[in-house]
Amino acid sequence: MKIGIVGGGQLAQMMIQAGASLGVSFALLALESDESATAICSEVHWVRGFDREGVAAFVAACDLVTFDHELVDPAVIESVPGAEAKVFPSARTLRLSANKARQREMLQAAGIPSPEFIIALDADQLRDAVGRIGYPAVAKAAHGGYDGRGVFYLWGPSDLDELVSRLPGAFELIVEPRLELEAELAVLVARSRSGRLSLYPVLRTVQLDSVCNEVWAPSGLDARLEETALDYGRRIAEAVESVGMLAIEMFVVNGEVLINELAPRPHNSGHLTIEACESSQFENHLRAVMDLPLGPTTLVVPAAAMVNLLGPADAVDLQAGLAPLLAVQGARPHLYHKSYRKGRKLGHVTALASSVEDALDVAREGAAAALSVPAGSGSL
């Protein structure tokens, strides 16, 4: 069984790590850069972009194909012979879940609450939308944004003028109010090709400057909110007919759960499932895509926490940080084979403990140690 992964980032790396024990081999369709998984995969199809010819040749070379990101146009996938039987999630699922505007329309149609929003396709519509939503507002690129790229906070008219001056010729934005978030959650759903569902425990996430920074489980939220979040997760997975992992980011605002966005793949919020759950999100993604029985998703420990290794302002030597990281008892390292860049996700640290507080302490200490060696300080 050879599974092709479109994209070669850390999600692909962790899929490969999980798939090795299932006897799966892998090929990557990767852009020319220092992407994580290309360092550990023997078959890499290098491309300059995800056009029809390249994707078709890749699909032909693999038994099944899945994704590390959503940068392939669903129309490209639809045009590839045999894609329906080999590529998961499907083009339809990608259409519904890889574009924030389509996501919100789908949620509205399904009667699942999300923040109030208006779609804008040109500068006049954008100004009109912000006029109706009011300040502070958030404008988000409907497609292609991640880790806060494509999210613009509009505190007043000068921010709107600046955004308008930087807009490309054609765009699609959603505009919504900037909300006071009481908490952010993620619900992860594994759904197999034959429609079996398995949901992970609700995860609590903390974003810094719109980038995921910390995650923990159990969420600490009351049971009613967790049940609502899981119910929405189940309904959304059915509505978009996801195959593999579907991650759903949610806000708690005024004591109610609102859906923020979806990602039709394994997700940063679920990295702690590698150590903390019976089967990780990466293993279940592969099981679902292969239509094998899904693994149990229950926590095997009372609590777990994950802290991302985000490139700090001053360059660090991550390899030299490994020894200090490993000196922190209980801190589990995950390095992504990436060179340093400010703000870049370079890895993460997970810790398991009897309480969320203790797990967070260890994961934070491990992350700080990992990032503690300045670049060029001559260690070795």
Ligand X SMILES: Nc1ncnc2c1ncn2[C@@H]1O[C@H](COP(=O)(O)OP(=O)(O)O)[C@@H](O)[C@H]1O
Question: In angstroms, rounded to a whole number, what is the distance separating the alpha carbons of residues 259 and 249?
Answer: 6
Assess 260 for contact with ligand X (CB under 6 A): yes
Question: In angstroms, rounded to a whole number, what is the distance separating the alpha carbons of residues 16 and 22?
Answer: 10
Q: Which one among 207, 213, 228, 372 touches ligand X, defined by CB under 6 A?
A: 207
Assess 261 for contact with ligand X (CB under 6 A): yes
Site for Mg ion in 244-283 (CB under 5 A): 249
Tell the smallest beta-carbon distance from residue 102 to ligand X (Å): 14
CB nearer Mg ion, residue 258 or residue 351: 258
Do 310 and 318 form a contact (C-beta atoms < 8 A)? no
User: Number of residues in contact with ligand X, rule: CB under 6 A?
Assistant: 18
Site mask for ligand X (CB under 6 A), range 142-181, x = bound: ---xxxx--x------------------------x-xx-x
Tell the smallest beta-carbon distance from residue 195 to ligand X (Å): 27
> Which range of residues in 122-130, 137-145, 222-230, 306-314 is near ligand X by CB under 6 A?
137-145
CB nearer ligand X, residue 25 or residue 207: 207
Tell the smallest beta-carbon distance from residue 129 to ligand X (Å): 13
For the chain, the distance separating the N- and C-terminal CA atoms, rounded to the nearest angstrom, is 40
Tell the smallest beta-carbon distance from residue 146 to ligand X (Å): 5
Tell the smallest beta-carbon distance from residue 267 to Mg ion (Å): 9
Tell the smallest beta-carbon distance from residue 186 to Mg ion (Å): 9
Alpha-carbon Rg of the chain, whole angstroms? 20
Assess 184 for contact with ligand X (CB under 6 A): yes
CB nearer ligand X, residue 18 or residue 188: 188
Assess 208 for contact with ligand X (CB under 6 A): no
Residue in the block written with tokens 């309904």 = 235
> Which range of residues in 89-97, 106-114, 241-249, 327-335 is near Mg ion by CB under 5 A?
241-249
Site mask for Mg ion (CB under 5 A), range 108-147, x = bound: ----------------------------------------
Strand partners, 149: 146
Assess 140 for contact with ligand X (CB under 6 A): yes
φ/ψ of residue 322, rounded to 5: -65, -40
Question: In angstroms, rounded to a whole number, what is the distance separating the alpha carbons of residues 163 and 142?
Answer: 15
Tell the smallest beta-carbon distance from residue 294 to ligand X (Å): 26
Q: Which one among 70, 249, 283, 317 touches ligand X, defined by CB under 6 A?
A: 249
Q: Name the residues that contact Mg ion, by CB under 5 A.
A: 249
Interface ranges with ligand X (CB under 6 A): 115, 138, 140, 145-148, 151, 176, 178-179, 181, 184, 207, 210, 249, 260-261
